[in-house]
Structure 1
Amino acid sequence: MTENKGFQLGTIGALTLSVVSSVSIVICNKALMSSLHFIFATTLTSWHLLVTFCSLHVALWMKFFEHKPIESQTVIGFGILNGISIGLLNLSLGFNSVGFYQMTKLAIIPCTVFLETLFLSKKFSRDIKISLAVLLLGVGIATITDLQLNILGSILSLLAVATTCVAQIMTNTIQKKYKISSTQLLYQSCLYQAMTLLISGPFLDKLLTTQNVFSFNYTPRVVGFIVLSCLIAISVNFSTFLVIGKTSPVTYQVLGHLKTCLVLAFGYCLLRDPFNWRNILGIMVAMVGMILYSYYCTLENQKKAEETSALSQAKEAESDPLLHVETGTTKLSDLPVSKDSVWESNKDFRA
């Protein structure tokens, strides 16, 4: 019971860290891109990852965590795939309308559910699916304003959804397969992510903005905001791996849409961004969906814990002969049997 409470507290802490850091970096980057006109998102992301790697290397040197080797092919492939997914998402935003880009992000949840069901044999209950549908409906109402389609943009969006889903599923799978922490996985993979974006970033940014990142006027204020953005990104990247490792890719995407709603609300309350009844209605519907999702996840986690406990007691009864002497002869059919778990609990702004 104590271990379960510790896991729940750890999960809540990871979710809170993810929300706070992501909203903070959105505010910082909005000032950097809108006010200071530094619009090179992909290159900025590569700096985020490079700073994250350096900080984790220092943490490893100070023995805050231990290095646990993973197969080099797995780590390199995983890191490059993550870098590609970030680049494709940025290209999707550049070649599509904002509304279609939001649709792309919404498509990540059903695509992840489909892939996990097909390849990992995971089962999602009807209640979970309904709550996800309500959440997606709310986010769609709040964020989608237009759906201008074009062939190139559509292809980029499909590739972005596919690579993002696979990368996030791999995050969860690798951590469980190799029994490593989110910090250990992030340390070993983020350098490959950073190198992928460092090489491709300037070209992608030139393609999207027609400007050269190296000829930008780096004033002290711009540099200060870039440094602040990179420091916040350490927390964003760490919390991303932490949340996916402790929960699932689906839960992380749900959290991402919550952050979208919070950013919209923050923008209206403090920055006086344009807001209308659709935004308010969408946020309310999305919050209902997220509350339902959290509620059903909690119920199913409790059910799974009870089934695990019953199975453990059954095994103890079978393996301990003194227990049979004390309690009398127990038939195998009288022992509690674990049922199949219906569902196993498991990046809105990219850092």
Structure 2
Amino acid sequence: MGEMSSFQLGVVGALFLSVASSVSIVICNKALMSNLGFPFATTLTSWHLMVTFCTLHTAQRLNFFESKSIDTKTVMLFGILNGVSIGLLNLSLGFNSIGFYQMTKLAIIPFTVLLETLFLNKQFSRKIKFALFLLLVGVGIASVTDLQLNLVGTILSLLAIVTTCVGQILTNTIQKRLNVSSTQLLYQSAPFQAAILFVSGPLVDQFLTKQNVFAFKYSPLVLGFIVLSCLIAVSVNFSTFLVIGKTSPVTYQVLGHLKTCLILGFGYTLLHDPFTERNIIGILIAICGMGLYSFFCTQESKKKQSPDLSLVSQIKEKDATQLLGHPDKESHEAKKSTKDSVV
């Protein structure tokens, strides 16, 4: 019971860290890109990953965690896949309208459910599916505005969905099958993710923004926000691997849509972004969906635990019966022996 409560506390802590860090970095990056005119999102992500690796390397040297070797080919392919998915998401945003990009993000949940059902034999109950559907409808109402389709943008969105889903499923699968922690996996894969984005980032950003990241005039204020963004990103990357490892890719995506609702709320409160009744209705529906998802997951988790507990109690009862049975048998044999000797 102590281990279970400790695990649940760890999950809650990971979820809180993920939400807090993600909302913080979105606000920081919005100020950096919208107010200070720094539009190089992909290159900035490569810097995030480089700082994350350097931070984890320092922590490993100081013995905060033990490095565990993982098959180089597995880590390399995993890191490159995650790096490519980030680049594709940014390209999808560049080639599509904001509304279609939001639809792309919404499609990640049903596609993840489909992949886990087909390839990992994972079962999702009707209640869970209903909660996810309610969540997606709410987020769609709150965030999707216009839907402008084009062939290149649609292909990029499909590729972004596939690579993101596979990357998140592998994040969970690798941690469990190879028995590595989220910190160990992030430490091993971050250099490869950073490398692929460090090479492709400036090209992608120049293609999307028509500006050169190396020709940009970096003022002290811009540099300060970049450093702050990189520091927050360490927490974002760490909590992402932690949440997916402790829960599931679907739960992480549900959490991501909670962040979307919070960011919309913060944008209205702090940045005075336009907010309509449609946004409010959508956010309320999405929160209902998240609440139901959490409630149904907790119920199903308790049902799975109850057979295990009953099995343990049966084993204990059997062991107790055997232990109690031996003295009776010995006593019976002792009595029989005494009777024989008297005779």
Give the CA deviation at 1:17: 0.2
Matched, 1:244 2:244: yes
| TM-score of the pair, normalised by structure 1 | 0.91
Give the structure 2 partner of residue 193 of structure 1.
193
Secondary structure of 2:149 counterpart: coil
Which whole-Å CA distance do the structure 1 matches of 2:192 and 2:117 have between them? Answer: 29
Q: Is the 8 A contact 1:107 1:161 kept in 2?
A: yes
Q: Deviations over 1:197-226 (max 9, x none)?
A: 000000000111010000000111100000
Give the structure 2 partner of residue 303 of structure 1.
303
Which whole-Å CA distance do the structure 2 matches of 1:241 and 1:325 have between them? Answer: 51
Give the CA deviation at 1:322: 2.1
Output the amino acid matched with 1:222.
V
1:304-323 matched pairs, under 5 angstroms: 304-315=304-315, 322=322
Q: Is the 8 A contact 1:317 1:323 kept in 2?
A: no
Give the structure 2 partner of residue 220 of structure 1.
220
Matched, 1:285 2:307: no
Matched, 1:164 2:189: no
Which whole-Å CA distance do the structure 1 matches of 2:190 and 2:177 have between them? Answer: 19
Give the CA deviation at 1:298: 0.6
Secondary structure of 2:121 counterpart: coil
Which whole-Å CA distance do the structure 2 matches of 1:312 and 1:214 have between them? Answer: 63
Give the structure 2 partner of residue 232 of structure 1.
232
Give the structure 2 partner of residue 254 of structure 1.
254
**How many residue pairs get matched?**
327
Closer/same/farther in 2, CA of residues 77 and 318 from structure 1, 3 Å limit? farther
Secondary structure of 2:232 counterpart: helix
Secondary structure of 1:121 counterpart: coil
Which whole-Å CA distance do the structure 1 matches of 2:139 and 2:283 have between them? Answer: 7
Matched, 1:106 2:110: no
Matched, 1:209 2:209: yes
Q: Which runs of 4+ in 1 moved over 4 A?
A: 314-321
Secondary structure of 1:149 counterpart: coil
Give the structure 2 partner of residue 346 of structure 1.
none
Which whole-Å CA distance do the structure 2 matches of 1:312 and 1:125 have between them? Answer: 26
| TM-score of the pair, normalised by structure 2 | 0.93
1:26-175 matched pairs, under 5 angstroms: 26-175=26-175
Question: Which residues of structure 2 form unaligned runs of 5+?
Answer: 329-343
Structure with larger Rg: 2
Q: Is the 8 A contact 1:317 1:324 kept in 2?
A: no
Output the amino acid matched with 1:230.
C
Which whole-Å CA distance do the structure 2 matches of 1:294 and 1:145 have between them? Answer: 28
Which whole-Å CA distance do the structure 1 matches of 2:325 and 2:139 have between them? Answer: 60
Which whole-Å CA distance do the structure 1 matches of 2:76 and 2:164 have between them? Answer: 16
Closer/same/farther in 2, CA of residues 310 and 95 from structure 1, 3 Å limit? same
Which structure has greater helix proportion? Answer: 2
1:332-351 matched pairs, under 5 angstroms: none
Which whole-Å CA distance do the structure 2 matches of 1:325 and 1:146 have between them? Answer: 75
Q: Deviations over 1:166-215 (max 9, x none)?
A: 00000000000111111000000011000010000000001110100000
Structure 1 residues 303-312 or 153-162, which shifts more? 303-312
Secondary structure of 1:290 counterpart: helix
Q: RMSD of the TM alignment (CA)?
A: 1.4
Give the CA deviation at 1:256: 0.2
Which whole-Å CA distance do the structure 1 matches of 2:53 and 2:155 have between them? Answer: 32
Q: Is the 8 A contact 1:88 1:157 kept in 2?
A: yes
Give the CA deviation at 1:2: 1.1
Which whole-Å CA distance do the structure 2 matches of 1:172 and 1:311 have between them? Answer: 28
Q: Deviations over 1:222-242 (max 9, x none)?
A: 000000000000000000000
Output the amino acid matched with 1:247.
T
Secondary structure of 1:211 counterpart: coil
Which whole-Å CA distance do the structure 2 matches of 1:135 and 1:308 have between them? Answer: 31
Which whole-Å CA distance do the structure 2 matches of 1:131 and 1:111 have between them? Answer: 16
Q: Percent identity, please.
A: 68
Which whole-Å CA distance do the structure 1 matches of 2:147 and 2:244 have between them? Answer: 30
Output the amino acid matched with 2:121.
S
Give the CA deviation at 1:304: 1.2
Output the amino acid matched with 1:118.
L
Secondary structure of 1:223 counterpart: helix
Give the CA deviation at 1:310: 2.4
Output the amino acid matched with 2:110.
P
Output the amino acid matched with 1:149.
L
Which whole-Å CA distance do the structure 2 matches of 1:96 and 1:325 have between them? Answer: 74
Which whole-Å CA distance do the structure 1 matches of 2:68 and 2:112 have between them? Answer: 28
Give the CA deviation at 1:312: 3.2
Secondary structure of 1:279 counterpart: helix
Give the structure 2 partner of residue 178 of structure 1.
178
Give the structure 1 partner of residue 338 of structure 2.
none
Give the CA deviation at 1:268: 0.5
Which whole-Å CA distance do the structure 2 matches of 1:323 and 1:150 have between them? Answer: 74
